Chains A and B, each alone.
Chain A
Amino acid sequence: MTLSLFRARSTVVWVVLVVATLVSWAVGSEHGTGSAIAIAVVVLGVAVFKVRYVGLDFMELRQAPLLLRGMFECYCVVLWCVLAGMYLWL
């Protein structure tokens, strides 16, 4: 009964998110090797990638009206650009 509830897209997404978390933790821990680009692009990018999936598949924005979904996707893009930009250029 309960197990069949988990046979859904959201569970797959969860697995992806857990893997992504571990990947970014691994990359983020490998510090001090001067790989600032890797950090900004990979770690922050992975964060925004995770945010996007939480929004689309957990908050169910994938099935939302395009305006709402569009606003959310815009937020993700802007967030990544601003944070990565500030990391790289400030």
Chain B
Amino acid sequence: MHVKIEKAAARLGLAMVGGFLVMFWFIAGLIPPMNPSDSAQQTAQIYVDKEWRIRIGLALMILFAWLFAPFFALLSRQVRRIEGYWGVMSLTQVMLSVTFPFGFSLCALFAVAAAYRPERNPDVTQALNDMFWFIFVGLVGPLITQVVILAFCVFIDKREVPSFPRWFGYFNIWYAILGVPGCAIYLFKTGPLAWNGLFAFWIPLTVFTIWMIVTTVMLTKAVDVEAAEREKRAASREWEPAA
């Protein structure tokens, strides 16, 4: 039973990435991103043209963003297994996981507010739009920290059958390095480090999607490792470790 729920949690996370892409790209049309150097008028016009696409797509995101939580709960549990108890790393994972859905729903709230009354002062719309991108693209700290902790855990896992293969640790470091440039968008309105730029948007989006796919697969395998351990303990009649 544990195994079924845990694997479902992993796959739900991946499904949500697909969902996010559908909601933000397909429905709302916010990807490809608009230009930070647009004037307030131009920005307001985009919200007029795409009003209902944005409102519907993002309303869905606000509703469903929380479905990322089980995936990260599973991730935190796997870190806990490596750490051996609910230690600093595992608890940090949990705390940062709490912020993850907000990266999608909080930014969506701003964009929906911008689209809610398209007839208003364009400067207000532009400010709300800026907030959307600032949160969506720029808030990279929590996930990068989670991923670095995960990499560290992969490397220190000294058990006979580790939860994750060592290459996964290096993979997480690679993702972390490439995810960081998103934080620079507050300093640029054009170029590759603007919120629509190659280094700050497109590469992080691509590597995030790759990371979710790879991590879903690796989590599913880690669940199997845990299940095998549980069976082995049951067979030798050992107590299960504390949750």
A and B touch in the complex (CB under 8 A): no
Q: Which residues of B contact A (CB under 8 A)?
A: none
